[in-house]
């Protein structure tokens, strides 16, 4: 029997161009909440890199196999917003998030999943960091000048 609850382990994928334009998505059901691609693992043994690639494809239509999806080796534990806790098993209040970066040579077309996001914008990295209310997302975006071009 599988649980209908989300597993409190997820990925954050900062999608950016070589000139540090960052793709930001506005969450459906939460007007004004802008973020990078995020998503939970589907099952306990799903490799995080596979979760990252799946979520990018689902949320943006971008196939990561054509670009450089990099594991930044960063994990952050954060408190789940109260409005989303019902998606998790009773008593679960925190999520462990693993950070990836996806570098693109230039801005590419985005195909959004309307049930997840309302709009998207490509923003300069500093503006993208200021736009998101998620501290983990902000901190990851602020690393971009140091991460860009590092394999």
**Which pLDDT band, with edges at 50, 70 and 90, does 1 fall under?**
very low
Domain count, the chain: 1
Q: Give the pLDDT confidence score for residue 116 in this predicted structure.
A: 87
Containing domain of residue 54, as a range? 9-147
Q: Assess if residue 34 is contained within a domain.
A: yes
CATH of the domain at 127: 3.90.79.10
Closest CA to 34 of 52, 48, 15, 54: 15
Cβ pair 39, 10 in contact under 8 A: yes
Cβ pair 139, 124 in contact under 8 A: no
> What does pTM read for this prediction?
0.88
Among 2-6, 24-28, 51-55, 130-134, name the one with the lowest average pLDDT. 2-6
**How do residues 25-57 score in pLDDT, each as one tens digit?**
998 988 899 999 998 888 889 999 999 999 999
**How do residues 80-107 score in pLDDT, each as one tens digit?**
878 778 887 788 788 889 999 999 999 9
Distance CA 60, CA 124 (A): 18
Q: Assess if residue 115 is contained within a domain.
A: yes
């Amino acid at each position: 029997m599988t649980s209908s609850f989300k597993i409190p382990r997820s990925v954050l994928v900062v999608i950016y161009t070589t000139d540090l334009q960052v793709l930001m998505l506005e969450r459906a059901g939460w007007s004004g909440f802008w973020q990078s691609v995020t998503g939970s693992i589907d099952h306990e043994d799903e490799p995080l890199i596979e979760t990252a690639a799946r979520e990018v494809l689902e949320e943006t239509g971008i196939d990561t196999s054509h670009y450089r999806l990099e594991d930044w080796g960063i994990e952050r534990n954060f408190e789940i917003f109260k409005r989303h806790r019902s998606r998790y098993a009773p008593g679960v209040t925190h999520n462990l998030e693993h950070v990836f970066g996806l570098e693109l040579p230039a801005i590419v077309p985005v195909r959004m999943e309307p049930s997840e996001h309302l709009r998207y914008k490509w923003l300069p990295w500093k503006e993208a960091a200021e736009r998101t209310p998620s501290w983990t997302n902000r901190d990851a975006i602020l690393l971009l000048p140091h991460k860009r071009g590092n394999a």
